[in-house]
Structure 1
Amino acid sequence: MAIPAASSLAVRSAIGAALAAVIAARAVRRRSLDASGGAAGFVVMAVHIACGYRYGAMLLAFFFTSSKVTKIGENRKRCVEEDFKEGGQRNWIQVLANSTIATILVVIYVLMTGGQDRCLDSNDSKVITGLIGGIIGHYCCCNGDTWSSEIGVLSDEQPRLITTLKPVRKGTNGGVTLQGLLAATAGGLTIGLTFVVVGLLTAQCPFDMALWQLLVLPISAGAGLLGSLIDSLLGATLQFSGYCSVRKKVVSKSGPTVTKISGMTLLDNDAVNAVSVLLTTVLTAYACICIF
């Protein structure tokens, strides 16, 4: 059953601003975000909720679940990660790297639909279906990659470089484990499940079309895995990894005490994330247009 007129753009905007302020302040207090990340997060969150409850829900599912998995095994991660931050604190650059494309898409979506929550249906509109699919793919990639990195690094299995399958040290860009790949799939599935469940309350679809929306679940799981694989491939080839004999860690910059493991110094971690998100967004949008 759809939520009535209370879901208007004006009401959603007010709810979005209030909820975003509370969540951003809480995130800064708990050190999930720094001050700049909190400010950026407030704007992004408010815009998403104003544009549609489902899109706000997907953003929040990504934020809360990724924050939780970041805090798992912090003591072990401290010994491996080059730029380890207590609580996984993120700044405005990282917030925007994980949300800019989706924010643009939700704004275009609301301008085209007037804020009405629509179903994935290419017969109705291929453009709207592509926009919705792109937003889903965006957060599946972000969540899948985060879950993969944060849970995969805790695996007892030695990572293997995705391009050669040779064993590499933990923390190497492009290193993958089975545990990490499964985590990426679960991370993507979580976003798809959020989209489907909230959509039952907010979108008015014919019964057969509502059932068809369940295909979002395998698509989102695949998008989470795909995003993680793209990120790993870019990390293994275009992002430098080396072992520092002084810090006893894998680092992302060359130096006199650093032995190269893989990659080139063309992209940093934020750039790799942004490119993988863009590619996954486009591919998921196309898949949704073809399937729905």
Structure 2
Amino acid sequence: MNPYIFVFALSFLIYRAYTRRSLTPPAILAAVLTACIHGTHAYNLPFVLLITFYALGTAATKVKHDVKATLTVSATGAGGAGGDGARGATQVFANSVVASALTALSAWNATAGGDGGECFADQLLMVGVIVNYAAVTADTLSSELGILSRSGPRLITTSRRCAPGTNGGVSMTGLIAGACGAGVIAVVSVALLPWCASWSLAEKARFAAFITGMGTAGSLLDSLLGALLQASVVDTRTGKVVEAPGGGKVLVLPSQKRLTVAGELRSRFGKAPETAGAAVGDVGAESVQGQWKEQRAANKTGKQLEVEVGKEHAHDAPSRRIETGWNILSNNGVNFAMAALTSVGGMMLAGWAWYGQPLAVVKEVMGV
């Protein structure tokens, strides 16, 4: 890549992220590292795709900010829309680490005399990079702009209506926005790739359609993974989805001081605990949630919350509940899994189309 273009663009990226506070300091360092890896490739495309993804995501976030503030709540309780605030390093890597690895492998292959020469022939690793950014761009625009849909989203697994911001919720507005984002990545790729003479205009158009389709599929895959593996937490007082900053998990219930199992048994049988510290522990959200399940089962009317944990906690009714999904992955984890699966899938499909061998990417990675 041209070093002058790289330094100028990277400096502008750092300046904008710092002055707009769109990235935390660790995230800026992560972005610089990611940009440097992308800049090692002979093609300008990987770095330009990184900048394009960042620019589109930032623009989409600004468009929906005021509306989202009325539809979701922040897990921190600080007010404002859920998920607001500067992006962290984990978010940066979740969307770009797969592309960084593929870019580095492609650059190494070119240096070693393998695929990745002066013109773009049938380089599966570069296809993976492009598909990665098509997918994460489609997912970002779908999530950020889909929440503006007037018809409301439907859960991808059951088709039932769900609250805006629900993981796995899809809408026609979000689907179109995601497809347009993937299309932008496809157009940029077709415009900047140094095509070999063997590629006809029709083949380039099919390539762009393929990238757009893979990006849209990646957005849908992200919704499916989010619906199944990521918990959607709802604030019971407002009915709005709760979102954590930095793409992390939302705590269902705040940690509270409760009797440990040993301390509770001693209390039940009239035996004093050995020490106060031994009897009281910091119990996490899952344990507290289990206690409240027992309470609701013991008294279905909900008028009297009187169980073994004591009457003094009757006012501590939970303000959050898991609406859908298993609390296995965070939003960052879902994004990374989606990017990895979509990129690998795109390379395998391209290998099947070009070589008749879906696993041809393995040979390219090995440089054989």
So what's the TM-score if we normalise by structure 1? 0.86
List gaps (5 residues or longer) in structure 2. Answer: 75-80, 243-249, 254-317, 355-368
- What are the residue-to-residue correspondences of 1:144-183 with 2, within 5 Å? 144-183=138-177
How far 1:21 moved relative to its partner? 2.5
Output the CA distance in 1 between the equivalents of 2:325 and 2:214.
Answer: 24
2: CA distance, partners of 1:120 / 1:246:
57
Alpha-carbon separation, structure 1, partners of 2:90 and 2:344 = 22
Counterpart check, 1:284 vs 2:275: no
Q: Distance in 2 between matches of 1:24 and 1:278?
A: 26
Of 3, 13, 21 in structure 2, the residue corresponding to residue 31 of structure 1 is 21
1:287 positional shift = 1.8
8 Å CA contact retained: 2:40, 2:104: no
- Counterpart of 1:229 in structure 2: which amino acid? L
Residues 1:20 and 2:10 aligned together: yes
Q: How has the CA–CA distance of structure 1 residues 117 and 56 changed in structure 2, closer, same or farther, with 3 Å as cutoff?
A: farther
Residue 241 of structure 2 is aligned with which of 247, 250, 253? 250
* Counterpart-to-counterpart distance in 2, 1:32 and 1:264: 30
Q: Does 1:119 align with 2:116?
A: no
Deviations 1:114-149 (CA, angstroms, capped at 9, x unpaired)? 37444242xxxxxxx220111111101110000000
The SS at the match of 2:102 is helix
Q: Does 1:136 align with 2:130?
A: yes
Alignment equivalent of 2:103, drawn from 100, 103, 106: 106
Measured after TM superposition, the shift of residue 73 of structure 1 is 2.6
Which residue is 1:50 aligned to? 40
> 1:88: Cα distance to partner?
5.6
Q: Does the C-alpha gap of structure 1 residues 147 and 48 become closer, same or farther in structure 2, counting only changes over 3 Å?
A: same
Alpha-carbon distance in structure 1 between the residues aligned to 2:343 and 2:68: 29
Contact 1:13 1:47 in 2 (8 A): no
Query: What do residues 180-227 of structure 1 show as CA deviations (whole Å, max 9, x unaligned)?
Result: 11111111111111111112xxx1511545652332211121112111
Q: d(CA) in 2 for partners of 1:109 and 1:82?
A: 42
Among candidates 183, 190, 200, match of residue 196 of structure 1: 190
Equivalent residues of 2:233, 2:322 under 8 A apart: yes
Q: C-alpha distance in 2, partners of 1:151/1:107?
A: 32
Q: Is the 8 A contact 1:134 1:284 kept in 2?
A: yes
Query: How far 1:275 moved relative to its partner?
Result: 0.5
Matched, 1:64 2:64: no
1:32 CA drift (Å): 2.2
Tell me whether 1:260 sits opposite 2:322 in the alignment: yes
Displacement, 1:249?
A: 2.2
Return the alpha-carbon distance in structure 2 between the equivalents of residues 117 and 188 of structure 1.
Answer: 26
Judged with a 3 Å threshold, the aligned counterparts in structure 2 of structure 1 residues 178 and 156 are, in CA distance, closer, same or farther, namely same
Structure 1 residues 96 and 208: alpha-carbon distance in aligned structure 2, compared to 1, 3 A threshold:
closer
Residue of structure 1 equivalent to 2:245? none
Distance 1:81 1:197 in 2: 38
Residue of structure 2 equivalent to 1:217: 208
Question: Alpha carbons of 1:117 and 1:249: their partners in 2 closer, same or farther (altered >3 Å)?
Answer: farther
Q: How many residues align?
A: 272
Aligned-residue RMSD, C-alpha: 2.1
| Residue identity (%) | 30
Q: Per-residue displacement from partner, 1:138-189 (whole Å, max 9, x unpaired)?
A: 1011100000001100110111100000111111110110111111111111
SS in 2 for 1:149: helix
Secondary structure in structure 2 of the residue aligned to 1:71: helix
CA separation of 1:286 and 1:209: change in aligned 2, threshold 3 A = farther
Is 2:146–2:170's contact at 8 Å kept on the other side of the alignment? yes
Is the alpha carbon distance of 1:86 and 1:244 closer, same or farther for their aligned partners in structure 2, counting shifts above 3 Å?
closer
More helix by share: 1
Structure-1 residue corresponding to 2:333: 271
When the two structures are superposed, what TM-score results if normalisation uses the length of structure 2? 0.69
1:4 is aligned to none
Q: Which residues of structure 1 form unaligned runs of 5+?
A: 1-6, 122-128
Mapped contact 1:13–1:50 kept (Cα < 8 A): no
Offset at residue 22 of structure 1 (A): 2.5
Q: Which residue identity lines up with residue 276 of structure 1 in the other structure?
A: M
CA distance in 1, matches of 2:209, 2:11: 33
Tell me if structure 2 keeps the 8 A contact 1:163–1:233.
yes
Contact 1:25 1:38 in 2 (8 A): no
The structure-2 alpha-carbon separation of the partners of 1:86 and 1:227, relative to structure 1 and needing over 3 Å to count, comes to: closer
Structure 1 or 2, whichever has the larger Rg, is 2
Cα 1:261–1:190, aligned 2, differ >3 Å: closer, same or farther?
same
